[in-house]
Homo-oligomer: A and B are copies of this chain.
């Protein structure tokens, strides 16, 4: 039992739960500005597994292209910052998400 095993995980193999990567990224960025590797780490903590660079960077590029995030360079690190449209969009997305899956959370969430 290593340190890595303490967080979340238990990824189900019954149905692949792909999706919501961009949504998760935007949500993480409401907490603070992060650079790529930081996002990868936080996504790993959330979902039990770090996304591949070939998954993460194209997603970030797309979010930037859509104007939802902006970037700022500090040394070799490239920080991603929520743009105004990203800020409003993610709230809308979170509300939609919580409405859609409310019943599942009522049954399986909350406790522990």
Contacts and interface: CB of A to CB of B under 8 A. Distances in A.
Interface of A: 8, 10-20, 22-23, 26-27, 46-48, 63, 68, 85-86, 88-102, 104-105, 107-109
A64 to B, nearest CB: 13
Contacts of A101: 46, 97, 101, 105
Contact of A94 (B16, B22, B104): B104
Given A19-B18, A19-B20, A68-B14, A27 B95 contact: no
A10 B105 contact: no
Main DSSP-derived SS at the A contact region? helix
Contact of A98 (B14, B97, B108): B108
Contact of A92 (B12, B46, B109): B12
Interface centre among A22, A23, A90 (most CB of B within 10 A): A23
Nearest to A91: B108
A90 B104 CA distance: 11
A81 to B, nearest CB: 15
A85 B96 CA distance: 30
